[in-house]
Amino acid sequence: MTAFRKTQHLSFDLDEAPLGRGEVAIVGAGPGDPGLLTLRALSLLQQADCLVFDRLVSAEILAMARPEARRFYVGKASRCHALTQEETNALLVRLAGEGERVLRLKGGDPYIFGRGGEEAEALIEHGIGFRVVPGITSASGCSSYAGFPLTHRDHAQSVTFVTGHCKGDRDLDLNWAALAVPHHTTVFYMGLANAELIRRELQRHGMPAATPVALVERGTTPEQRHVLATLGDLVEVIEREAFRPPTLIVVGEVVSLAKTLAPAMTRLARAPDVALAASPHPIPGRVAL
């Protein structure tokens, strides 16, 4: 997001009460591009005393918070957690109990594979007030920036968001027959480790090997890269291109529209070397709109 001179700072009168002391705001930060942050999320960023944030929240978004706000990193990667979920819950409870205005900042949307519901349950258990602010989920942001929609009247009349791994590394037990139907889009979050299973089960339940697939790594950020493949060569493409988390796997006929739509799109993301230089205030305490 670019900060412009000679404009008014964002006020907090967005039809909501200010963040109260001892309250937790569970907020979606979007998929990465700071320009996709909602005005309400930005307002709360500029009020919070403490930020409890995930691995995929960008430095540009963190820079929009008050400089004096305390920052607590609780990021999670596969088999590598800064804090367990239970420890994160306890941290939120402790900070709120100290009377802090707490912002729990999550990549994407907190209620779509973001564990926001689990944290809300923990806050209720301890009698702590909270609010939830939705964010643009990765499926929507990554597909748009990769140049294809998730639904289309000619190609996909429905879309399903699916977790690519289960709690405690249990087997991925999905209704594969429901996902293998035509004119449907399936988005697998966190699915790289189970790519072979995804390919095998979808084909076993009738999906053709030629079905288009998109792999989108670090979508909406300056480091985004995406490759179009087919279901049949999904695993080989992942290995050859060395895809790493966070990568979305999008399966469905609608992916083929990227060949037409993506080349015609105006570039949305800035290049890495100019991502911060574009702003006259690269690390603002408050952002003007």
Compute how many other C-beta atoms are within 10 angstroms of the C-beta atom of residue 205.
14
Judge whether 273 counts as a catalytic residue.
no
Tokens of 17: 């009460």
Phi/psi at 130 (5° precision):
-150, 160
SS3 252: coil
Give the separation between CA 125 and CA 168, rounded to whole angstroms.
23
* Residue 76 a catalytic site member: yes
Residue of 76, 169, 173, 273 with catalytic role:
76
The token duo for 146 is 């990769």
Query: Of these residues, 33, 54, 106, 109, which one is catalytic?
Result: 54
Active-site residue list: 54, 76
